[in-house]
Structure 1
Amino acid sequence: MELNMPKFYNFAAQVDQYALNHPDKRAVWELDESGAEQILSYDQLRRFSNRIANGLQSIGIGQGDKVMVLVKRGIEAYGLYLALLKLGAVILPGSEMLRQKDIEYRIDHALASAVICFDGMTGEVEPLRNRCKTLRHFITLGDRADGWISLDLLIQDQADEFACVQTSSDDLAFLSYTSGTTGGPKGVMHVAGWPLAHLSVAAKQWLDVQEKDVVWATAGPGWAKWIWSPFVSTLGLGATAFVYKGRFSADTYLSILAKYPISVLCATPTEYRMMAKAPDLESYTLQALRSTCSAGEPLNREVIDTFRRVFNLTVRDGYGQTENTLLVGTFVGVEPKPGSMGRPSPVVRVAIVDEEGSELPVGKVGDIAIHKEMVALFKGYLNDPDRTAKAFRGEWYVTGDQGRMDDDGYIWFEGRSDDIIISGGYTIGPFEVEDALVKHPAVAECAAVASPDPERGHVVKAFVVLKKGNTPSDSLAEELKEHVKHLTAPYKYPRKIEFVEDLPKTTSGKIRRVELRLQEKEQMNRA
């Protein structure tokens, strides 16, 4: 299967054309914790995003400008992303869990000129006003703040028609940051044509989105997965995006699935695991649900078996990265092998390669790699040619994950080939955790690794060497956890802390995290 990319493409223009042809079709269906609902039709969404585009343009935001977006789930996220694409601006997705240090790094690294955030984030951004020299525009959703432009006021008198900028398929459109094992997060560059490549297989043959569907993809804005499923896969195929703005609980999710006509669900393995453990699981009837997918980390067999037994649904696993799109998955019509990622996408050449970049035979464990000619592959890491070059081995992009391929072409995940931690669907670089920990006056040095966990797959565990004069204690461990939460995004904090006298190191002094990971795995196996 080949994909021919047109010279010009703009995803927002595609959505607008659908809206003109199907103005009354429901586009976004929002539900909050109180039970209140808000619905926008495709035409209403088109006009809403046009007003935002006109408002942003009126203050000088235009084609090529890099704009950091820090918003929660909701209708506003859809309007903002479409508006920025219409302007030809570059979107920097940011989680609402990011802290001042994380935000400052991304703005400075990308040379961003604007930040748009919900009112709960202005306190994290405000101190950067005089530190981030390229930042000129401060826009907020919700409560007004001094020195900030209210989005509501900005768009209230704007026209609801806007001429979408013509963008080349190769123009930079998304700049998503992903954790690295060393140094700061990497800015992953995706172009305007990326959504079209993603729609060709991932949306249709994995999520199985159809025009009639109500799609609930639980990822939040700020993550590449939000662009994947709630945004591109849903609006790009004319379906309805269902958005729940409340917190996760297994009973709440199951109740929503039972009450609303949600036909496609895409959630994290952690969310599926928690739902599968609900004591009253069999009391729920999910009449509309027909397609269920999971991504972010491996899905265990118990969950797949439970959903098949109780709901006659096959939860289809999928594997991809911020740097690409769906690479491997249990596609529609493919019989799953529980524990396996599935089979390679029909538009992706996937192989297991060795350290020289040579393909390995069936059954051999090596690096999961994709051919560099993949249409949806990223265009490199922003301002980072060294790390971009290191991501490639000959003609292959090496994912950083290891696996093996069986006789039927299914790929089995064997673990990370580097030190990246994947916990509850979040990708966490050990450097970010360690950098925060060593800023505490009691910490001499530390190492963060993945520790097996039955619910999250893995959690962050920190091995901490204290400075002289400090004594290990439960209270100090809790203090260190809170310290990390305040310095970086809370999802990165170490849920486990072990105080040690020293850390295993190479002869050159580099910490051997691999020894600590193996130690954690062995302890779990003995438990």
Structure 2
Amino acid sequence: MKHYEDNFAHDHLPHPSLMADCFTGHDDFEFPEDLNCVERLLDRHIAEGNGDKIAIRTFDTSWTFNDLYKKANQIAHVLREDAGFVPGNRVLIRSANNPMYVACWFGILKAGGIVVATMPLLREKELTVMADSAQISHALCDYRLIDDLKSVTSGCLNKIIAFDGTGQTEQELEKLMTGKPETVTNYPSKADSVAIIGFTSGTTGKPKMTSHYHKDILLICEAFPKYSLNPTPDDIFTGSPPLGFTFGLGGLVLFPFYFGASTFLIEKPTPDLLLQAIQDYKITICFTAPTAWRVLTTKVADYDISSLRKCVSAGETLPEKVWDDWYEATGLKIIDGIGSTEILHIFISSNEENMRKGATGKPIRGYEAKIVDENGNDVANGIEGRLAVRGITGCKYLVSADKQKEYVQNGWNITGDIFRKDDDGYFWFVARGDDMIISAGYNISAIEVESVLLTHDAIAECAVVGLPDENRGMLVCAYIVLHDKSRAHETTTKAIQDWFKEVAAPYKYPREIRYLDSLPKTETGKIQRFKLKNIVQA
């Protein structure tokens, strides 16, 4: 079946035989064949007479569902009438978390586009790879972030439209929206039409494209929120993850809107701003990473957070000490969870009734999980092994049959994490099974960092590993061999770090640089990273 006029995404989905086993098993997870997820997340609030209810707040403004609905409809008209857009085109969004970002997200889906949400920290090189890989034709970009996007060298990206995420000026998008109808006929997508593409860093250095259907967007709203949060229309969500992360998209847009609640967006969510928002706007649910929970604990005594009822942590494993310290300071239990871009959101977590401190939790409604060995055989409780998950959503890599075969085995999603399961069915995180570095909630590919470093004129060779760190979980540590070994000093280190932050996403930069005369290698010339990791741990 042809889903779109531009059918690139569907033409490059994995063969059905390579897909994960997906099942529903409950009426809550059944959606009609004709489905545009925007209608359930946004349009129904207007139809049900709740258009005047607040949807999005910031420190500077507030939008009702009606405001969001009208702007999203106008953006859909701009794409269709002024941008050379056809249904199925991939449209990139580049912006910090703000109301216009959300309007663009909905407007693209209303027009029949596929959203490629990105983080504002990404640079020209990374954006070029994305544009080429997904054949992205259009981009909606906050004018404050447009320079890197305009430097993208992809031959696919032919239309960049600027908007103002502050709402203070009229950029090209706002000007084009002026006078456009405030209603639109949504594109008649199917439940299994691709709605979003998310990029995930891999150990090969080339990012993988995960795709998710319109029904997937709604399915995750029936899973984690109902299991762990029990949201009501009176809830106000906030948090720190960028909307370019599926963790942020779910926690700050999909979940609140699905349940008729509201969201509070912060462009640069420092711990103090998070606490101020919770205090001043009576936030009830907060999503952030363990690193942030640790800092919030040190500052929380200065704020009134009595409105807060649910605290969610994901992005990296939650240390017991962070849980203990927050609970002692606030009386609130942090809900830990693990998810992945491939599966879209959290699939193992807990609620306040079944929480076991230190454990990630149990499979939430809609999912099942097990621990397997290298051959895919189940292992006994208490034995460490690979985490395997299946349920209502699953991995669908585009243009990557080999990676699909690695991630999906025997119908199960193999996440790359090492876990063990206890006799009561709780899952306990052990380690990452690959060379991904998880630092302050960000997934960073060691190979990707190396590929950037090797473009520096002073660097002859390098290898990157994760260094355990109390505050960030892990640090990016680069072992570097210089052309001129006499330059192995702090001045060179700072110069390399500053340069890296200019040419790649700053959160990926090596916070630790160590100099070697040579890297340990096998006889065939392959770098022995395990030896470097042993140096790190020594």
Task: Tell me whether the two structures share a fold, i.e. TM-score over 0.5.
Answer: yes
In the aligned structure 2, how far is the partner of 1:162 from the partner of 1:262?
33
Q: Which moved more, 1:251-260 or 1:493-502?
A: 251-260
CA gap 1:395/1:109 in 2 versus in 1, 3 angstroms: same
Aligned runs of 1:19-38 on 2, under 5 Å? 19-21=46-48, 22-31=50-59, 37-38=60-61
Aligned to 1:34: none
Deviation at 1:121, TM superposition (A): 2.2
Q: Which residue of 1 aligns with 2:176?
A: 154
Using structure 1 for the length normalisation, give the TM-score: 0.92
Find the aligned partners of 1:149 and 1:289 in 2 and give their Cα distance: 37
Alpha-carbon contact 2:462-2:478 (below 8 Å) kept: yes
2:151 partner SS: helix
Write out aligned runs for 1:46-61 (5 A): 46-59=69-82, 60-61=84-85
Change in Cα spacing, 1:9 to 1:517, as seen in structure 2 (3 Å) is: farther
Deviation of 1:226 (Å): 2.2
Distance 1:513 1:209, change over 3 A: farther
In structure 2, do the counterparts of structure 1 residues 458 and 7 end up closer, same or farther at CA, with 3 Å as the change threshold?
same
Deviations 1:119-167 (A, max 9, x none): 1222112233xx3222221101139xxxx97111110111100111111
Q: How big is the shift at 1:207? A: 3.6
Secondary structure of the 1:349 match is: strand
1:202 to 216, 221, 224: 224
**AA partner of residue 102 (structure 2):** Y
- 1:22-45: per-residue Cα shift (whole Å, max 9, x none)? 1111111111xxxxx211111121
Q: Deviations over 1:62-102 (max 9, x none)?
A: 32000111011111011011111111211111111111000
How many Å separate the matches in 2 of 1:11 and 1:304? 35
Alignment partner, residue 353 of structure 2: 333
Shift of 1:13: 1.1
Matches for 1:78-227 after TM superposition, within 5 Å: 78-128=102-152, 131-142=153-164, 150-227=172-249
* In structure 2, distance between residues paired with 1:483 and 1:245: 25
SS at match of 2:435: coil
Please report how far the alpha carbon of residue 217 of structure 1 lies from its aligned counterpart in structure 2 after TM superposition.
Answer: 2.7
Written as runs of structure 1 = structure 2, the 5 A alignment for 1:398-409 is 398-409=414-425
Counterpart for residue 64 of structure 2: 41
Matches within 5 A, 1:369-384: 369-371=388-390, 374-379=391-396, 381-384=397-400
How far is the alpha carbon of 1:470 from its aligned partner?
A: 4.8
Q: Which amino acid aligns with 2:392?
A: V
Aligned counterpart for 1:6 among listed residues 29, 32, 43: 32
2:174 partner amino acid: D
Q: Which residue of 1 aligns with 2:409?
A: 393
Match of 2:460 in 1: 444
Equivalent position of 1:357 in the other structure: 376
* Residues 1:516 and 2:532 are matched in the alignment: yes
SS in 2 for 1:52: helix
1:484 to 2:500 alignment: yes
State the distance in 1 between where 2:522 and 2:502 align. 32
Give the Cα–Cα distance (whole angstroms) in 1 for the partners of residues 86 and 251 of structure 2.
26
Structure 2: distance between partners of 1:261 and 1:247: 16
Decide which of 301, 306, 311 is 2:330's aligned counterpart.
Answer: 311
> For this pair of structures, how many residues does the alignment match?
505
Paired with 2:468 and 2:404, the residues of 1 have a C-alpha distance of 30
Contact 2:395–2:413 (CA under 8 A) maintained in structure 1: no
CA shift for structure 1 position 469: 5.6
Which residue of structure 1 aligns with residue 307 of structure 2?
Answer: 288
Deviation string, structure 1 residues 296-347 (Cα, Å, up to 9, x no partner):
011112222222222221111010000112111013522x222211111121
Cα RMSD of the aligned pairs, angstroms, is 1.8
Q: What is the CA–CA distance in structure 1 between the aligned matches of 2:341 and 2:56, rounded to whole Å?
A: 24
Partner in structure 1 of residue 255 of structure 2: 233
Look up the equivalent residue of 1:20 and give its one-letter code.
A
Contact 2:348–2:362 (Cα < 8 Å) also in 1: yes
Check the 8 A contact 1:207/1:292 in 2, yes or no.
no
Cα distance in structure 1, aligned partners of 2:206 and 2:96: 24
Structure 2 segments unaligned to the other structure (5+ residues) = 1-24
1:232-271 alignment, distance < 5 Å: 232-248=254-270, 250-271=271-292
Correspondent of 2:361 among 342, 345, 367: 342
Q: C-alpha separation between the residues in 1 aligned to 2:306 and 2:205?
A: 48
Counterpart amino acid of 2:370? A
Residue 66 (str. 1) matches residue 82 (str. 2): no
How much does 1:445 deviate? 1.1
Counterpart CA distance in 2 for 1:241 and 1:485 is: 31
Output the CA distance in 2 between the equivalents of 1:286 and 1:483: 40
**Can you give the 5+ residue segments of structure 1 that lack an aligned partner in the other structure?**
32-36
Structure-2 change in CA distance of 1:18 and 1:62 (3 Å): farther
Instruction: State the distance in 2 between where 1:518 and 1:211 align.
Output: 51
CA deviation after TM superposition for structure 1 residue 468, in Å: 4.4
Counterpart-to-counterpart distance in 1, 2:130 and 2:486: 35
Contact 1:179–1:428 (8 Å) recurs in 2: yes
Secondary structure of the structure 1 residue equivalent to 2:356: coil
Q: List per-residue Cα deviations over 1:442-491 (Å, max 9, x = no partner).
A: 11111111111111111101011112465311111111112221221111
Deviation at 1:295, TM superposition (A): 0.7
For the pair 1:418 / 2:434, whether they are aligned, the reply is: yes
Separation (CA, whole Å) in 1 of partners of 2:491 and 2:302 = 42
* SS of structure 1 residue aligned to 2:265: strand
Report if the CA contact (8 A) 1:294-1:317 is conserved: yes
Distance 1:137 1:247 in 2: 30
Q: Given that residues 203 and 434 in structure 2 are in contact (C-alpha distance below 8 angstroms), is that contact kept between their aligned partners in structure 1?
A: yes
Q: What residue in structure 2 maps to residue 499 of structure 1? A: 515
Instruction: Check 1:515–1:251 CA distance in 2 against 1; reply closer, same or farther (3 A cut).
Output: same
Partner SS, residue 219 of structure 1: coil
Give the superposition deviation at 1:236: 1.3
Q: Match of 1:463?
A: 479
Distance apart, 1:194 and its partner CA = 1.0
Alpha-carbon displacement from aligned partner over 1:482-525 (angstroms, at most 9, x marks no partner):
222122111100000000122233343222223323432x34xx
